A and B are shown apart, each in its own frame.
Chain A
Amino acid sequence: MVKNARSSILARLRMAPESVGVIQPDWRPAVIAEPERQNRFTTMIEAAHGEVHPVESQVWPQRLLSILANRGIRRLLIAPAHPLGRALAEAWAGNPDAPELVPYDRCVEEMKDTLVHGIDAALTGTAGAIAETGSLVLRPGADEPRLMSLLAPIHIAVLEANAIHDTLTSMMASQHWNRAMPTNLLLISGPSKTADIEQTLAYGVHGPKELIVLIME
């Protein structure tokens, strides 16, 4: 059945009259000069309810501790194989005030209950960001699983200031994404939200209610 469907669909499409050639217009995306990029990124993601904290790269674990202190975070999910996860484990070791670090170190099937119910926040890195739309770019993989940026009520993402590109077009082209796409590539432009009930915005409907971005300068 399936084979027949394939050949009959393709045959019908090939029998149809050919379209006239399509001329691609010379469209170029906006250019955002480098000094403006970080500002633009911050303005855009804050407008989408994201929270941005510029930090110096040596002291980010301490800054994170103070950011989380007021929020009553007890269990923070980390990727133990990721450099950020390792750095945090080292920096917070022996600190009685620090939240407990929960490592995502087994496959989802073995950790489902912890992931779905047992964490207050999660920490991930980023593969850069897009200034134009205020979007973080994540490439989850073996070191940093996909669900880390999705299940916890608070998502903390660490971004290098010099990894902010002006547009998706320029980032995609300069890094040749089309040559090898990862299993999953994500743009995240704020916390989870909905306006399905009378167009009233509500945050955290399925994913994180808060998105905190640490920009390392």
Chain B
Amino acid sequence: MNSPTGFAQRAAVALSDKSLRANFRRAMDGLMEKRKAQFPDRQALEALRDKGAAIRANALSKLPDLLERLEANCTANGIQVHWAATVAEGNAIISEILGKHHARLVIKGKSMVSEEMHLNHHLQQQAIDAIESDLGEYIIQLAGETPSHIVMPCIHKNLDQIARLFADNIPDQAYTEDVDALTAAARRVLRERFAAADAGLSGVNFAVAETGTLVLIENEGNGRLSTTLPSLHIAVTGIEKVVESLSDIPPLLALLPRSATGQPITTYVNMISSPRRPGEKDGPTEVHLVLLDNGRSKVYADPHLRDTLRCIRCGACMNHCPVYGRVGGHAYDAVYPGPIGKILMPQLDGLEAKGDLAHASTLCGACAEVCPVKIPIPDILVHLREESVNPTGAVAHSHFSGTLERTIWSMWTMVNTSPKLYRLFLWGATRFGNLMPGRLFKRWTLVRTRPQFARASLHEQAASEGFGDG
């Protein structure tokens, strides 16, 4: 699906879009500042990150057992648990539940897993309306776009663009750049949708095996409305989101919002342990939990890659990534963009389809430095790069199959495995290297100074200073 140079081409387009770059730059700078202000004590932060990493690593080390325990406790609480190996199975399960309830209108809280499933599109095909209620998601749904950030989905849009979108799409809404007025307009429109919805659909931030509890965090209240007002609630989540104990939640809550948006805590932390019980006046009468695999068990099987599944989806790696901050989320053409996407997408969608993302990185390490659960993202990137080229140096995947690149690498191998050739190459490079025509390096030297070859190799210089080979 991706052309061999897909990311590079999309990045080039994004880089020349001045307003897009300005929107991202402003947002990323702000988010980095806010996060920094939340962690003034370096030692306390490191202790907390160690704890967060250990909680997630522990959960992964017992993953199959914890999933069974989660299922047992949810079931005992009255939550119906479903398992989906693939996106198609997940969509079919949700269609079936909605079908039983004759649901025509679904109101959605923010869920990246539902993006992964292309659930809205799937439901639309069955004449079921799925309305996004998170303000950012609502905005991009109006625009017919996909999220460009996992926490702030419409971060690529500025006020003027959003104001126009509202004026064009919401009846009786005049163009205004008053953020309060725009927010009020969305509240007005979506309130009616909440009241009319047959079902609510949400993601899950953490699923607690010990108590069978779904933990959802948010600021707007749309997540609570989606999971409380309609009589049917369906939660979808990846199988990796489970944690062992309720006591694992506070350290993760101390990490997630601070890393994500620089808030001490989100406005709402919503812990759902069961549907409406007899005597209660509200809450859904049915709660379903759909556990989606979609490649996660394959990631799990590789010890080099398993740490990818620790992710708690805070987006801090994106906010701090010099590549993401400049090209923006859409250049990745992936549900999960930025550093976490670069390691997750090639694993979920395959190296063939998304392998070029593993190369969309300078390996600067900023992502690993800020990751609240200490995922070694650069190490995993390097591993994925190694995997895409097999050990003999031959090319394993199509995005490396350029004839020129293949020829250069085989010549490089020849030169470096024969001492005679190596010396000949060095002699030639030092004598004639600077004579190579400049246009060969035009793309490189456009923004850089061309390096000069030394007149003699280090080997020759050392020999002339009296250092022998011995």
Contact = CB atoms under 8 A, between A and B. Distances in A.
A108 to B, nearest CB: 4
* Nearest 3 CB-CB pairings of A with B: A207-B221, A196-B136, A27-B51
B47 A19 contact: no
Interface residues of A, number: 79
B399 interface: no
Interface string B336-352: 00000000000000000
Contact of B267 (A6, A147, A192): A192
A66 to B, nearest CB: 27
Interface string B387-428: 000000000000000000000000000000000000000000
12 contacts: A2-B89, A6-B83, A10-B68, A19-B61, A105-B281, A168-B250, A169-B250, A181-B211, A194-B135, A195-B219, A197-B154, A208-B221
B1 interface: no
B26 A202 contact: no
Interface in A1-38: 1-2, 4-6, 8-10, 12-25, 27, 29
A2 B61 contact: no
A202 B264 contact: no
Interface of A: 1-2, 4-6, 8-10, 12-25, 27, 29, 44, 48, 104-109, 112-113, 116-117, 132-135, 141-142, 145-147, 150, 167-169, 172-173, 177-178, 181-200, 202, 204-208
Given A12-B297, A135-B269, A196-B135, A116 B194 contact: yes
A119 to B, nearest CB: 13
Interface in B196-219: 210-213, 219
A191 to B, nearest CB: 7
B198 to A, nearest CB: 12
Given A12-B298, A27-B48, A182-B273, A133 B265 contact: yes
Contact of A9 (B152, B239, B253, B274): B239
Contacts of B297: 9, 12-13, 16
A112 B195 contact: yes
A186 B270 contact: yes
B259 interface: no
A138 B186 CA distance: 27
Nearest to B275: A183
A190 B267 CA distance: 5
A133 B267 CA distance: 10
Interface in B80-114: 82-85, 89, 92-93
Contact of A23 (B54, B231, B250, B274): B54
A193 B267 contact: yes
B27 A199 contact: yes
Interface of B: 26-27, 30-31, 47-48, 50-51, 54-55, 57-58, 60-61, 63-64, 67-68, 77, 82-85, 89, 92-93, 133-136, 139, 152-154, 158-159, 162, 179-180, 182-184, 186-187, 190-191, 194-195, 210-213, 219-222, 224-225, 228-229, 231, 239, 245-247, 249-251, 253-254, 261, 264-277, 279-283, 291, 293, 297-298, 300-301, 303, 306
Contacts of A192: 219-221, 267-268
Contact of A13 (B63, B191, B210): B63
Contact of A2 (B83, B152, B210): B83
**Among B89, B186, B271, residue most surrounded by chain A Cβ atoms (within 10 Å):** B271
A139 B186 CA distance: 29
A4 B264 CA distance: 42
Contacts of B251: 27, 29, 169
A175 to B, nearest CB: 11
B228 A205 contact: no
Contact of B229 (A107, A147, A172): A147
Contacts of B133: 206
A189 B263 CA distance: 11
Nearest to A178: B246
A184 B283 contact: yes
Given A183-B274, A190-B267, A193-B267, A5 B282 contact: no
B191 A116 contact: yes
Tell which of A16, A109, A191 has the most Cβ of chain B within 10 Å: A16
Contact of A194 (B54, B93, B219, B273): B219
A40 to B, nearest CB: 11
A205 B282 contact: no
B179 A197 contact: yes
Nearest to B153: A196
Given A117-B191, A185-B271, 19 more contacts: A2-B82, A8-B85, A9-B67, A12-B297, A14-B64, A16-B297, A17-B303, A19-B57, A24-B51, A24-B58, A25-B54, A150-B221, A178-B211, A183-B275, A186-B271, A189-B266, A199-B26, A199-B31, A206-B225
